[in-house]
Amino acid sequence: MSDAGTLLRALTARFQAAGIDSARLDARLLVAEVFGVEPLYLATHPEIVVTAQQQAAIEVMAARRENREPISHILGRRGFWTLDLLVTKDTLDPRPDTETLVQGVLDRVGDRQAALRLLDFGTGSGCILLALLSELPNAQGLGIDQSAGAVAVAAENARRNGLDVRARFQPGNWGDDLAGPFDVIVSNPPYIPDADIAGLEPEVACHEPITALAGGADGLNCYRHLVPEMARLLAPGGLAGFEVGAGQAEAVAGLFSTHGFYDVRITQDLAGIGRCVFALR
Ligand SMILES: C[S@@+](CC[C@H](N)C(=O)[O-])C[C@H]1O[C@@H](n2cnc3c(N)ncnc32)[C@H](O)[C@@H]1O
């Protein structure tokens, strides 16, 4: 029999040896999950006894984490905005940076009570669309993804968060077979330059879907495809918003200007990186 404090120290050392930056936090999250307590509780109660059954359950999860599987895949969920979301190997793990896109849309929509029609290209877990619907009580939204697995996860997330009446998800290739108009179109498309993918952290390179990452030689392929689609599908005056990779904002802003959008704006994430580009149709 061990106690929680001893177990946490041992797990932290193992995760550090595996090259995991967030070793201490991840150890605490896994142990807290098996104990069914808040992670903070463990810090103040290191004396709790770990049963053999709990030890075995933690070991299974620890081995997955040592193999650099994302903590969200092991726990099966990720907090995003105010929502608790299911994530699986079919979906990108929603990133805090992506909340910049949600906030940017909310800052620009004007009347949050309006009956807006939202479209989310490459919806993944549904995180962006569902966060927006949670803040826009009369809006309706459609999320598109080429991955049937992601579409199923997004639909489940809508149900879990009580948003399924206003959210629809369907498989598709970007805007193929879609007709507008929409008032807001958002997307966090794949934007990693192909040559950079092998150098990403193992959590991303080995465990996230390649189709959620690869953006072509310069990372901008999806933007080149989606800007004209947004122009076709948005109502006049409608809002387009993208998440972009570091260093891509100016190029994406240029694409909007070339396709007749106006009021093109770049917003930064909390690290001061140009993270989103917004424009009006
Ligand atoms: C970077 S992930 C973003 C997922 C989610 N929106 C988020 O922010 O966490 C990009 C998503 O685009 C989807 N995707 C890639 N190519 C697509 C295509 N041609 N048509 C529709 N979706 C596509 C991927 O399956 C993936 O779910």
Q: Where does CATH 1.10.8.10 sit in the chain? A: 2-67
Contact 69, 207 (CB under 8 A): yes
Alpha-carbon distance 252 to 189, whole Å?
Answer: 12
Q: What residue owns the CA closest to ligand 1's atom 9?
A: 94
> What value does the mean pLDDT take over residues 146-156?
97
Q: Is the CB of 131 under 6 A from ligand 1?
A: no
pLDDT at 162 over 70: yes
Backbone angles phi, psi at 103, to 5 degrees: -60, -40
Query: Which DSSP string corresponds to the chain?
Result: -EEHHHHHHHHHHHHHHTT-TTHHHHHHHHHHHHHTS-HHHHHH-TTPEEPHHHHHHHHHHHHHHHTT--HHHHHTEEEETTEEEE--TTS----GGGHHHHHHHHHHSS-TTS--EEEEES-TTSHHHHHHHHH-TT-EEEEEES-HHHHHHHHHHHHHTT-TTTEEEEE-STTTT----EEEEEE----B-GGGGGGS-HHHHTTS-GGGTB--TTS-HHHHHHHHHHHHHEEEEEEEEEE--TT-HHHHHHHHHHTT-EEEEEEE-TTS-EEEEEEE-
pLDDT digits (tens, 9 = 90+) for 4-33: 999 999 999 999 999 999 999 999 999 999
pLDDT digits (tens, 9 = 90+) for 213-224: 889 999 999 999
Contact 121, 185 (CB under 8 A): yes
| Mean predicted lDDT score pLDDT of the chain | 95
Question: How far, in Å, is the centroid of ligand 1 from the Cα of 3?
Answer: 43
Q: What residue owns the CA closest to ligand 1's atom 18?
A: 173
pLDDT digits (tens, 9 = 90+) for 29-71: 999 999 999 888 988 898 999 999 999 999 999 999 999 999 9
Q: Is the CB of 122 under 6 A from ligand 1?
A: yes
In the CATH hierarchy, which top-level class contains the domain 77-280? alpha beta
Alpha-carbon distance 82 to 16, whole Å?
Answer: 30
Domain 2-67, what architecture? Answer: Orthogonal Bundle (1.10)
Q: What residue owns the CA closest to ligand 1's atom 4?
A: 124
pLDDT digits (tens, 9 = 90+) for 84-131: 999 999 999 999 999 999 999 999 998 999 999 999 999 999 999 999
Alpha-carbon distance 96 to 80, whole Å?
Answer: 7
Question: How far, in Å, is the centroid of ligand 1 from the Cα of 42?
Answer: 37
Q: Is the CB of 274 under 6 A from ligand 1?
A: no
Question: How far, in Å, is the centroid of ligand 1 from the Cα of 261?
Answer: 23
Q: Is the CB of 123 under 6 A from ligand 1?
A: yes
Q: Is the CB of 180 under 6 A from ligand 1?
A: no
Q: What is the pLDDT of residue 54?
A: 93
pLDDT digits (tens, 9 = 90+) for 255-266: 999 999 999 999
Q: Of 81, 90, 147, 208, which is best to mutate to test ligand 1, by the most ligand atoms within 8 angstroms of its C-beta?
A: 147
Q: What residue owns the CA closest to ligand 1's atom 14?
A: 122
Q: Where does CATH 3.40.50.150 sit in the chain? A: 77-280
Q: Is the CB of 171 under 6 A from ligand 1?
A: no
Instruction: Tell me the torsion sign for CA atoms 129, 189, 100, 263.
Output: negative
Q: What is the pLDDT of residue 1?
A: 64
Q: What is the pLDDT of residue 188?
A: 98
Question: How far, in Å, is the centroid of ligand 1 from the Cα of 21?
Answer: 27
79 pLDDT tier (thresholds 50, 70, 90)? very high
Alpha-carbon distance 8 to 21, whole Å?
Answer: 15
Q: Is the CB of 147 under 6 A from ligand 1?
A: yes
